[in-house]
A and B are shown apart, each in its own frame.
Chain A
């Protein structure tokens, strides 16, 4: 009767079953994408991927967005949740749960990708009887998993510098080793070039939301544009090389800027501009992070829930006064996404929602004004544009201005003015580097780029201040070590290989 002690559930699957069926392998691949959107296997909450923090908080996009935006001149998130205030004020420490959640999410996704790549090796595919065209499809999936992994390693070196490192070659259960920022950069560089050479990824724009060659080249552009920050060595020429590949891949600007952030942005012309979205759906992709957070948190006071296509605002995110002040062209329609009625335009207190300009950029209504598919009004349909064309156009211009070869100043100005013209902003006649930073602020605000941009321009820690930077209302310079977040104490305690590897200043 001891045989009965071997019990297995019939409602879940194991690797030996799943990885024999290409259709199910695609479902595992979908899950690698889904990590950016959802927080667990039961939307909106339940069976969480990671723990130690509220499940909705733990969402990848929500955490990444917070560290990239509320630590800058663009946004404030005025809630009293745990140590959230210190994220706003650049006073976080290695016990900060939001810093930890971002870190945990990034490495969680890398671990999922490692497992997928491990299980879909050529040897395993042939062992499991997958061959021919099916094997070819799975190889493409595997390349996508490698690209998503590289994307996460880029997030890791951008936010944390060096850190733990493992690929599919490290077995589950082993302590990963520590690699420096430059070492991980070099790995990502090599990996992305290999993916480009192997050519297994889908052609740009062939399937919406898949990590295709367009995504690969965009990521390479971002990596090389920031190489000076990551390694001390500039790679602007490489940035131009790969930006050019994206720019020639057939992406087109949406006629309407506002439509890029609405519930039907996966259907309208906005789709042609988006290089990589994180997809959401009001009935099928539910989360309390992601776009649910971005839409609800910005609504409150005079911005009515109905106008955003939802059932209630969370009164959380507002813009700091620095953001509206960037808009110097009176005709610029991008300013229409600011809402100032009955608001104090200046962020004078961190917690009061009346303090600061409201931003109605992300909404759960379609371009024709119809609310999204969730009749309860909780979960938006709106996709998050992680990478879109103007980002690459502005990166091209910046790399040119920074001295990279393979591009031209006139082409740079053309790209910048194309971006401006779409929103009726008056064209620029000359370009300075500072114009690029400001244009990135105007075009890409609240899209998760700002912290990286300010650091690249040397304006993050010193020399440029915004309300409550450093914990004072006027803002003050902070330690230069704040360009990196600390490795969370939870991981330093858990992994002996991280001993003594904490980032300086923490």
Chain B
């Protein structure tokens, strides 16, 4: 031994107490060091005697430091040291478009949420797993019905008339966003328990590889897989929940309603009042019970890792007669063959949902129906004795408003609300929806050229929706047509072929990765049409067959793409990414193709020598990205370029002479229609401090969309309608996203992690029409209840999309709004629609999400909070609460608002009803205990208790400030207009998980 030097040796272990090979072990401040060998041991020779710090590091694991005293001529043995996996996981594989990347190599704005971070408790739809977890992503569920659809908006949404939904890809299969008949949410057919991670691609450098479908971001869902060489595992879990109504709509009680009618009603209105005290909301809602049971087995059969799972969800809705049963199964096989040169991935998922929809019309009817009337009246069908003359009838046993005609026959009052309990009990509305998604992906390392591999992916996504609705002939809701007994049916077939080649090699001073591929996807949407039947199955309206005489309407959308990507990594410090995609769609013709480039650069400052060994700064990376993405999704508008004639239905015929003709209408079309383009600029910083205990990222972005696929007014006589879809207008989204994670307490027993994300987004329309005019109000949107065809929102230049368009209310000295008195904003001396102004919007300025996870040994407490700030809601429930009842033979109940504003007549356009709907919601709190290896070694038992929708803090007066109405064929989706929302429940869940 040299003078004054000694040896240091030891062993490094992983979390399973097995030796970790390849760990870098260094004496800090020296060049002495090496790496561990295959059993995790190391030995460092020639270390100068004295006090030293030993640094043990391995990518993806938390670096450990230990003080050692080296004695000359001796071997200092360090006790076996375990390295813990680093939660920042810089080399964690992050799923990106067509492959995975190490987190530290990412150049774009990509956020991956894995199972550990998912929202826990009663989560039955996949998107709810990440609600409040991802910066820049706003997820609003469409209410509390089981399987309800959600609006997912990434960075504010880039479109106006076209879809604002992100592209969702499940295990490599881009899935169909089209609504399926009988399914309220196509994602609800995926069992969240099978999901391992959800990755959100937000900026163009990460999304542009998906070209014409990527403008609203991309969500990549990865399901769980078996692990090579793993032993056989069985996991059984069950969750049992009770859901309760968190808040009822604030309507007058029977006594309050009686008092109001006595004060302000006419004699004839008073005479319609009954003597009952019915709380209609209590009559239609219930405490709902849900069971979610899952079992999975996984392991590796020789070279074939496998995972097989099954799930059964039985979820009741708060609304009586509303439930969902989901049977789901998934198989994944991930064999590695031919000496590791061929990796195959086979995924097969299937689900079957039986829906029982109840009649959601009851939600609104329960608010409006006169609370002084009884649910049921006794006696035979018709006008029972002892009730106000001619005002009430009994229809299938339920009270309904009716009149007596001159011959003494009972005639239903069709303008009155229908009995809410009758609506529910007299309608059977069931559907069965099935979905299967599967793919086989082969990745083959080509033997003749090192670094070259070929990847083929064949996939499908098939959905079937079939439903029946039945209402008996004596039910009030469909009495005049003698009930209904109808069917509906829809098939969605989506097939996929992807093929790409990848080439990786060291080139010059860096590592080069090239990828080039081809993609073909076909979506087929087949709708069946049926006769419209009465309850007794006699035909009420015969089916209108298609032009070609068929009972089906088939629409197709084909997408063909060619894409390439180049990654160049210099010394893990300078990272370049360039992508290009040429995308063709059948929606535009004859010029199908659009071209979408992107480029990004990242500088991983942490990789530089001056930061390499810094503990204080554990990660620092600067990212810059630019790119273009497209939009072609016009929903049901499959052939916007085509000069078509549409065949009229049998109910839209026209009589000439004594003949009725089914007519042929020349339709509006746009031969020049093309894709809209979004250009995204993104700059971001990924940071980590204090040994990785405080980490996250900050991104700023600007997204400019031009050539908007916009449904705009067209000059009279220049087309075949008054409006059509044209590439007109532009809009901008600007924003900041901040993500912060703190490992606040880190110990052997007690750990606290806190995470938070904040998004600021500003949405502005910058151009709407070909001709700019000061007179242009913009495009009115946002239909409301009350009157016919009234709208409350507008898209105008200089304002956020869907800004409220209202009259400015004038208030009296007592602070109460003065009925019908508005500010004459244009000063022309009269108050009318020209005095309406743009006031706030349904879009939040800030979206904040966060949570914490506290664990002490086996116990665990986690919660998730969400908050939107600066979002407004038009309280349509309140604006319908005016006294004037221009009705005959019945009166309708009112929201308690009628007592506050005292409005006598409708004031639909008052800004008084646009309310600040900022809120803070505790989405979930979970308390769990992990009993660990209770049964025998290798097993695990855990128990959890969770509450969903724990509390809600808001100034908003309605039942819930988060409003999204998915809309129907006849009524487009609306945002921020509170009509009759199916209440979101407060849910209490007990869960048990056993792993063997």
Contacts and interface: CB of A to CB of B under 8 A. Distances in A.
Interface stretch (B370-378, B716-724, B857-865, B958-966): B716-724
A442 interface: no
A1 B834 CA distance: 54
Contacts of A480: none
Contacts of A496: 771
**Max chain B CB contacts within 10 Å: which of A9, A53, A207, A306?**
A9
Contacts of A8: 639, 642
Interface string A92-116: 0111110000011001101110111
B644 interface: yes
B886 A493 contact: no
Interface in A36-81: 37-38, 40-47, 49-54, 56-57, 78-81
User: Does more than half of chain A's interface fall in helix, strand or loop, or is it mixed?
Assistant: loop
B481 A494 contact: no
A95 B773 CA distance: 14
Interface string B394-432: 000000000101100001111100000000000000000
A28 B664 contact: yes
A57 B658 contact: no
Contacts of A494: 712-716, 769-771
Contact of B405 (A27, A306, A313): A306
B589 interface: yes
A94 B584 CA distance: 42
B447 interface: no
Interface string A279-312: 1010111110000000000001100111100011
B832 interface: yes
Nearest to B908: A80
A465 interface: no
A127 interface: no
A33 B653 CA distance: 10
Contact of B560 (A1, A108, A495): A1
User: Does more than half of chain B's interface fall in helix, strand or loop, or is it mixed?
Assistant: loop
A57 B716 CA distance: 19
B665 interface: yes
Interface in B637-667: 638-639, 642-658, 660-666
Given A13-B645, A103-B716, A285-B654, A7 B558 contact: yes
B652 A285 contact: yes
Interface string B521-553: 010000000000000000011001011101011
Contacts of B653: 30, 34, 43, 281, 284-285
Given A18-B645, A490-B713, A5 B775 contact: no
A375 B717 contact: no
Interface stretch (A173-181, A431-439, A456-464): A173-181
Contacts of B648: 31, 34, 38, 41-43
Contacts of A370: none
B651 A43 contact: yes
Interface residues of A, number: 116
Interface in A386-427: none
A358 B960 CA distance: 43
Interface in B547-583: 547-548, 550, 552-558, 560
Nearest to A280: B655
Given A11-B554, A166-B717, A83 B832 contact: yes
A427 to B, nearest CB: 36
Given A13-B644, A43-B652, A82-B787, A284 B522 contact: no
A492 interface: yes
A4 B560 contact: yes
A176 B718 contact: yes
Interface in B695-719: 711-719
B381 to A, nearest CB: 18
Given A207-B656, A491-B715, A14 B644 contact: yes
B720 A489 contact: no
Given A49-B721, A281-B655, A494-B771, A28 B481 contact: no
Nearest to A79: B787
B651 A173 contact: no
Contacts of A137: none
Nearest to A103: B716
A79 B786 CA distance: 10
Contacts of A313: 415, 888
A15 B717 contact: no
B956 interface: no
B716 A164 contact: yes
Interface string A338-367: 000000000000011100000000000000
Interface in B776-800: 776-777, 780, 786-790
A2 B559 CA distance: 9
A284 B787 CA distance: 27
A319 B145 CA distance: 47
Given A4-B558, A33-B656, A41-B652, A11 B663 contact: no
Contacts of B777: 95, 489
A41 B665 contact: yes
A209 B652 CA distance: 16
A287 B648 CA distance: 13
Contacts of A322: none
A315 interface: yes
A487 B651 CA distance: 33
B832 A312 contact: no
Contacts of B638: 7, 9
Given A12-B547, A18-B664, A375-B480, A353 B773 contact: no
B585 interface: yes
Contact of B656 (A103, A209, A301, A378): A209
A200 to B, nearest CB: 17
Contacts of B550: 10-11
A315 B639 contact: no
Contact of B723 (A41, A50, A166, A173): A50
B905 interface: yes
B888 A315 contact: yes
A218 interface: no
B885 to A, nearest CB: 11
A312 B392 CA distance: 15
A324 interface: no
A87 B773 CA distance: 25
B970 interface: yes
Contacts of B560: 1-2, 4-5
Contacts of B665: 28, 31, 41, 49, 112
A83 B560 CA distance: 48
A207 B657 contact: yes
A121 interface: no
Interface of A: 1-2, 4-15, 18, 24, 26-28, 30-31, 33-34, 37-38, 40-47, 49-54, 56-57, 78-83, 86, 91, 93-97, 103-104, 107-108, 110-112, 114-116, 163-166, 170, 172-176, 207-210, 266, 279, 281, 283-287, 300-301, 304-307, 311-315, 351-353, 375-378, 471, 489-499
15 contacts: A4-B560, A5-B560, A10-B546, A11-B546, A15-B643, A38-B652, A52-B723, A164-B717, A176-B718, A207-B656, A209-B655, A305-B403, A305-B414, A311-B412, A493-B775
Given A377-B414, A489-B773, 4 more contacts: A41-B665, A42-B649, A54-B789, A209-B655
Cβ-closest 4 pairs across A and B: A54-B789, A43-B652, A312-B414, A495-B715
Interface of B: 403, 405-406, 411-415, 480-482, 520, 522, 540-541, 544, 546-548, 550, 552-558, 560, 584-586, 589-590, 592, 638-639, 642-658, 660-666, 671, 711-723, 769-771, 773, 775-777, 780, 786-790, 830, 832-834, 884, 886-888, 905-906, 908, 969-970
